[in-house]
Structure 1
Amino acid sequence: MTKAIKLLTALPPPQRARLMELAREVSFPEDTRISEAGGTADRFWVIRSGAVSLDQRVDDLRRATVAGLGAGDLLGWSWLFPPYRWDFGAVAFSPVRAYEFDAAAVHRLCEEDPRLGLMLVRKVAEILAHRLETTRGKLLEQYAMNRRGVV
């Protein structure tokens, strides 16, 4: 399995600096719902410290945790692709500090600097591919345990 890609450190310094001009420092107390699946994806975050759980609603009462994120991880990619709706919910598993980016401002920056826009899309795509690979592995492991009767 490949190493997780961290968005900010993956960008070359000049592009990272331009993006960071749009960053706003935010914090979320433990157990704060940061986003809800289906909600408007008008921002994204890069986690500075703490842990975030991504979840999916199973039914009206239950949610299933699908991934955990920590320092350096990108939280939110739905802002980049229409219809700009969150695919997963996110909750602060511990106190979280993060850089928050307004999606509209980042879209404008990418239009002004197409090189940055291309780099950003490529890095987000790499992050998504890595997360898909990780999720696939977890699902195969769960399937194998269920087949063996280990639950």
Structure 2
Amino acid sequence: MSTPPNPRLTAALSAEQRHRLMECARPVDFPEETRLFEEGGYADRFWVVRTGTVTLDIRVPGKRPAAVDSVNAGELLGWSWLFEPYRWHFGAEAMTRVRADEFDAATVRMLMDADPSFGFALDHFVGQLLAHRLFSARVRLLDLYAPHGSGM
């Protein structure tokens, strides 16, 4: 079982599409241990991490949230903003100081609707990202809770 590659936004969008997206970015800075969002909360934004590491986690009844993946420099943080009802499927915490570009989800969805080729490219990218994240979460949960781990 091979791991799906973690896609990069820079490879998924043309230079013009990246420029259009970056026009609605705003720089943000999160100190270490900052909770960026909680599982089940409203997903109204997303980020492209410039520096630092964010850990994705899920709630485990009676225990601390279980880390299932990490997001590093150059990677997209957040995909729940694209799919109704726009609720986070994971939680996220800055493991180090994180600098990122933040995007308002509603604005980006309007850009996607206005330009179908941009919308298709971003949809396709997020689909690849979903495959990667779900695979990583599955492997991590098997390692944590299955009797013989993931076998990876």
TM-score normalised over the length of structure 1: 0.88
- Alpha-carbon distance in structure 1 between the residues aligned to 2:131 and 2:139: 12
Report which stretch shifted further, 133-142 or 97-106.
133-142
- Alpha-carbon distance in structure 2 between the residues aligned to 1:128 and 1:97: 22
How many residue pairs match? The answer is: 147
Alignment of 1:11-90 (within 5 A): 11-59=13-61, 61-90=63-92
Q: Residue type matched to 2:65 in 1?
A: R
- Alpha-carbon distance in structure 2 between the residues aligned to 1:140 and 1:57: 15
- Alpha-carbon distance in structure 2 between the residues aligned to 1:73 and 1:104: 20
Structure 1 position 147 matched with structure 2 position 148: yes
In 1, are the aligned partners of 2:69 and 2:136 still within 8 Å (CA)? no
Bigger Cα Rg: 1
TM-score normalised over the length of structure 2: 0.88
Offset, 1:111: 1.4
Structure 1 position 134 matched with structure 2 position 133: no
- Alpha-carbon distance in structure 2 between the residues aligned to 1:60 and 1:38: 17
Offset, 1:112: 1.3
Segments of structure 2 that go 5 or more residues without pairing to the other structure are none
Q: Residue type matched to 1:52 in 2?
A: V
What secondary structure, in the 3-state scheme, does the structure 1 residue paired with 2:148 have?
helix
CA RMSD of superposed structures (Å):
1.9
In the alignment, what sits opposite 2:125? 123
Offset, 1:133: 3.0
- Alpha-carbon distance in structure 1 between the residues aligned to 2:42 and 2:142: 32
Segments of structure 1 that go 5 or more residues without pairing to the other structure are none
- Alpha-carbon distance in structure 1 between the residues aligned to 2:94 and 2:112: 29
Please give the per-residue CA displacement for 1:56-114, whole angstroms capped at 9, x wherever unaligned.
11125521111111001111100000000111110000000001000011011111111
Offset, 1:8: 3.1
- Alpha-carbon distance in structure 2 between the residues aligned to 1:88 and 1:138: 13
Offset, 1:129: 1.1
Identity of aligned residues (%): 54
- Alpha-carbon distance in structure 1 between the residues aligned to 2:110 and 2:31: 31
Offset, 1:2: 4.2
- Alpha-carbon distance in structure 2 between the residues aligned to 1:39 and 1:135: 19
Q: Residue type matched to 2:39 in 1?
A: A
- Alpha-carbon distance in structure 2 between the residues aligned to 1:63 and 1:31: 14
